[in-house]
Amino acid sequence: MEVSWLYLIPLLPLLGAAVNGLVGRFLPKAWLYAVALLVVLLSFCIGLFAWFEVARLPGESAQLRQLVYTWFSVGSLRVDLGLTFDRLSGTLVLVVTGVGFLIHLYSVGYMDEDPAYWRYFAYLNLFVSMMLLLVLADNLVAMFVGWEGVGLCSYLLVGFWYDDETKAYAGRKAFIVNRIGDFGFLIGIFVLYFYTGQVGFQALKVAPLSLGVASAAAALLFVGATGKSAQLPLYVWLPDAMAGPTPVSALIHAATMVTAGVYMVARLSFLYVQAPGVMAVVATIGILTALLGAVIGTAQMDIKRVLAYSTVSQLGYMFVGVGVGAFAAGTAHLITHSFFKACLFLGSGAVIHGLHGEQDLSRMGGLRRAGLKHTAATFFVATVAITGVLPISGFFSKDEILAQALNTRAFDFLTVLPDPGSPRLSFLGPTIYLVGTLTALITSFYMWRCYLLAFEGEYRGPAEVHPHEAPWVMTLPVWILAALSVVGALIVLPGHDLRFTWEHFTEGLFARTRGGAPAERLPELVAFGIALVVAWAGFATAWSLYAPGRALEGDERIARVSPGLRKALAASLYVDALYDRLVVKPLWATARTLWRVVDATLIDGLLVNGTAQAVASVGSVLRRFQNGDVQRYAAVTAVGVLILVYVFLVRG
């Protein structure tokens, strides 16, 4: 159905960004807050209205569309700024604006004392606008604009306190690592355009693609997703991105932007099912990232870094979901994750706020009884959700992904090597299930470790810091998110006859994999039982090491048993050091060579200054002739005339 008001959804936050960014510093604080919050709230209301419209419409036609204008038209390429509001993008619009509004509200409390609050809110509004464009775009080019826009906002907000060199560096790192992925994304768009002449999702959906083209495009677009969504091997920017203000970590680096890659794969499900090999890669990268993030998360001492590695790990789960063809399960986890992870991050923000900037878990402890009652309670709820010790949102959405991975038939007809005699890839799904279950165990362990270290036991921080609870503008959004983490379970409840589940809601939206109906390798109840046992096992391990009163004994015990492992984990398995050695240092060396040799010597020295020096030295010889003696000029002229006369008259 064509409508004429969809453009308001991304436009309003953009206007807010313009107002706040251009005149924000001259406005009274209350006005600026009103503008920043109202535009997002209005976007949310329009989104909600549109969502109910879409929910009423039946099946596949359930979408609102608007062609805002034709952006450009060159030769056979026509790029429209077109928006599509269907059940997937619509729900994400609600998540982005809804969670976004809560985080804006929270930021009012968190950033109130920062002198650059107006800049912060301008960036935050701009981010919401770009994210909405990314989600609503109906073609790859417009999506790429949003894709780059959120990357820009991420850079601006990670390096928000840019006078701190490490934070500015983290911002640059986030941007540059993302650029590597974006390069792949861009080439992927080119490949699709080159072979089909189309960039719109609707047109691409029906365009015939050979296996090679589909695989190349899908793989290249996935490179973009590994950058944006912090997957192996490009995940390294996300933990450092925690240098930004905590609400930013919640909004951009947990709930919305980093899930853009998952959304993109789900949006292009029709493309990915045509490239089953790439889907196997997506799922494999996803599960490896999930495991790696969880393992590193077990030894981090910075509360935000624990959550960052947890985000990396959970994003890995989402890619497992979309990689095995369970697009609904992957995106459902995206939604529930945005609730509980935003809640966790905002909770950590309240802790940092209450401890005047302290982020180190070793100087926390006992915060629940030290006054941070609301924060502790909400953090507890969100931890339950992510670890799955009780069946609320995270339990179901994660378990659905693992079950789908176990039962998938998407890889049954793939072989390990191109040779038809080599073994089939059908072992991949069950392997992913096993690794994923192990990851769930580790997830439960490190999240409970984090909760126990921060909120239980005795306070270990310096005596002069008195922990205090955050104001209501900060606790209210966290409580709402905690409630959503619980209620969110409704949309991911198992049971295929429930009409309100995400799977039912998005029926027909995603393409189906070639493998056919999933196998029933494990009864559903058994899978749930295993998931529950695993979650409790993780909790029990965490409790045995970090039970209240034991303080940091757990870490010391691990360090005693295996000092090398503990050190490696705390240093993030030396991946950053490895990248530094393999990529950053050689790049710096190359750049320095180019600067010293090519730029300074060749271009500046030889070409620029060389030309000038050549002219100057010729001139220093020639200026001897310009001595100002008119009579000598006359003599030279006379001699010249005589020579000419001789040449032309006497000899000629």
Residues near other proteins (CB under 8 A) = 623, 626-632, 634-635, 638
Nearest distance from residue 590's CB to other proteins, in Å? 46
Closer to other proteins at the Cβ: 523 or 628?
Answer: 628
Closer to other proteins at the Cβ: 564 or 628?
Answer: 628
**C-alpha closest to that of 569 among 291, 295, 231:** 295
Give me the DSSP letters along 318-347: HHHHHHTT-HHHHHHHHHHHHHHHHHHHHH
Nearest distance from residue 619's CB to other proteins, in Å? 10
Q: How far is CA 652 from CA 19, 377, 531, in A?
A: 83, 110, 108
Closer to other proteins at the Cβ: 194 or 633?
Answer: 633
Nearest distance from residue 609's CB to other proteins, in Å? 23
Q: How far is CA 159 from CA 308, 494, 587, in A?
A: 16, 42, 22
Nearest distance from residue 637's CB to other proteins, in Å? 10
- Quick check: 188 and 224 in contact, CB under 8 A? yes
Nearest distance from residue 630's CB to other proteins, in Å? 7
- Quick check: 246 and 124 in contact, CB under 8 A? no
Nearest distance from residue 612's CB to other proteins, in Å? 18
Q: Which residues are paired to 463 by β-bridges? A: none
d(CA 344, CA 337): 10
d(CA 179, CA 192): 20
Closer to other proteins at the Cβ: 463 or 622?
Answer: 622
Q: What are phi and psi of 296, to 5 degrees?
A: -65, -35
Nearest distance from residue 632's CB to other proteins, in Å? 8
SS3 per-residue string spanning 67-123 = EEEEEEEECCEEEEEEEEEEHHHHHHHHHHHHHHHHHHHHHHHHCCCCCCHHHHHHH
Closer to other proteins at the Cβ: 533 or 642?
Answer: 642
Closer to other proteins at the Cβ: 586 or 640?
Answer: 640
Long-range contacts of 192-197 (CB under 8 A, 24+ apart): 192/140, 192/217, 192/271, 193/77, 197/76, 197/77
Angle subtended at Cα 522 by Cα 518 and Cα 523, rounded to the nearest 5 degrees: 100
Closer to other proteins at the Cβ: 356 or 632?
Answer: 632
Closer to other proteins at the Cβ: 638 or 644?
Answer: 638
Nearest distance from residue 648's CB to other proteins, in Å? 18
Nearest distance from residue 608's CB to other proteins, in Å? 25
- Quick check: 122 and 274 in contact, CB under 8 A? no
Give me the DSSP letters along 208-223: ---HHHHHHHHHHHHH
CA-only gyration radius of the chain, Å: 30
Q: Which residues are paired to 72 by β-bridges? A: 79
Nearest distance from residue 652's CB to other proteins, in Å? 19
Nearest distance from residue 626's CB to other proteins, in Å? 5
Closer to other proteins at the Cβ: 533 or 639?
Answer: 639
- Quick check: 546 and 538 in contact, CB under 8 A? no
Closer to other proteins at the Cβ: 608 or 642?
Answer: 642
d(CA 317, CA 311): 10
d(CA 39, CA 47): 12
**C-alpha closest to that of 311 among 297, 298, 321, 301:** 297
Closer to other proteins at the Cβ: 22 or 635?
Answer: 635
* Residue 233: cis peptide before it, omega within 30 degrees of 0: yes
Closer to other proteins at the Cβ: 76 or 620?
Answer: 620
d(CA 493, CA 500): 9
d(CA 309, CA 294): 6
Nearest distance from residue 627's CB to other proteins, in Å? 5
Closer to other proteins at the Cβ: 578 or 638?
Answer: 638
Nearest distance from residue 623's CB to other proteins, in Å? 6
Nearest distance from residue 610's CB to other proteins, in Å? 24
Helix (H, G, I), strand (E, B) or coil at 485: helix
Q: How far is CA 409 from CA 210, 278, 399, 404, 627, in A?
A: 22, 15, 18, 9, 93
Closer to other proteins at the Cβ: 4 or 631?
Answer: 631
- Quick check: 193 and 240 in contact, CB under 8 A? no
